[in-house]
């Protein structure tokens, strides 16, 4: 878990808090919730919303960042999104009425042969109507950590450490 926010995080003791990131169907529903982030192993400072062509020996990576702000009350919402929010990209601050929580990042590595990458012959999605759109991907999270574990995670992040 990580965070880019300024200030201390609240340790969430809310069991079963749910979060969603991305969108499995941004072509048919529109790109508002899409959060496509692709990169190559060893080049994570270079993020793209397109399928990358990685240098020889590097794996293709898909990065899923979850919201790192919570309304402090609800463990879920009708749309599975409005009870959590992303921090401001510039200031790192949560929107008014939200508190900073540990931000989950999931990075998935794929071994895709370089010749397949160069020919543009790879794509990820499971819905034909999405036409292999690099935006079409999502992840769900449900917090099943104990209060003690969440306290440890928040304390680690607040100390500026990389927490695993």
| Per-residue pLDDT tens digits for 84-122 | 999 998 999 999 999 988 888 889 999 999 999 999 888
Structure tokens at 135: 């935006």
Exposed e or buried b per residue across 98-137, where buried means at least 16 C-beta atoms within 10 angstroms of its C-beta: bebbbbbeeeeeeebeeeebeeeeeebbeeeebeebbbbb
> What pLDDT does residue 5 have?
46
- pLDDT band (50, 70, 90) for residue 69: very high
Structure tokens at 36: 């496509």
Q: In what order do the strands lie in the sheet with 84-85?
A: 84-85, 69-70, 99-100
Q: What is the pTM of this model?
A: 0.79
d(CA 73, CA 83): 8
Average pLDDT taken over every residue of the chain:
85
Q: Rounded to 5 degrees, what are φ and ψ at 61?
A: -130, 140
Q: Among residues 59, 29, 28, which one has the least CA distance to residue 43?
A: 59
pLDDT at 149 over 80: yes
d(CA 164, CA 157): 10
d(CA 113, CA 109): 13
Which residue did the predictor score with more confidence, 163 or 112? 112
**Count of CB atoms within 10 A of residue 13's CB?**
14
Element containing residue 18 per DSSP (H, E): strand 18-23
Say which DSSP state 97 is in: T
d(CA 69, CA 52): 29
């Amino acid at each position: 878990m990580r965070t880019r926010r300024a200030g201390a995080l609240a340790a969430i003791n809310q069991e079963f808090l749910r979060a969603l990131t991305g969108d499995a169907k941004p072509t048919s529903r529109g790109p508002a919730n899409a959060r496509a982030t692709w990169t190559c192993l060893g080049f994570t400072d270079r993020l793209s919303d397109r399928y990358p062509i990685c240098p020889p020996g590097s794996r293709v990576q898909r990065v899923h960042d979850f919201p790192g702000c919570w309304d402090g009350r609800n463990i879920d919402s009708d749309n599975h999104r409005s009870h959590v929010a992303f921090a401001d990209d510039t200031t790192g601050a949560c929107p008014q009425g939200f508190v900073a929580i540990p931000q989950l990042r999931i990075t998935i590595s794929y071994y895709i042969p370089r010749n397949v990458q160069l020919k543009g012959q790879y794509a990820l999605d499971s819905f034909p109507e999405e036409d292999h759109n690099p935006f079409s991907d999502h992840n769900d999270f449900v917090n099943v950590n104990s209060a003690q574990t969440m306290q440890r995670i928040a304390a680690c992040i607040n100390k500026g450490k990389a927490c695993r």
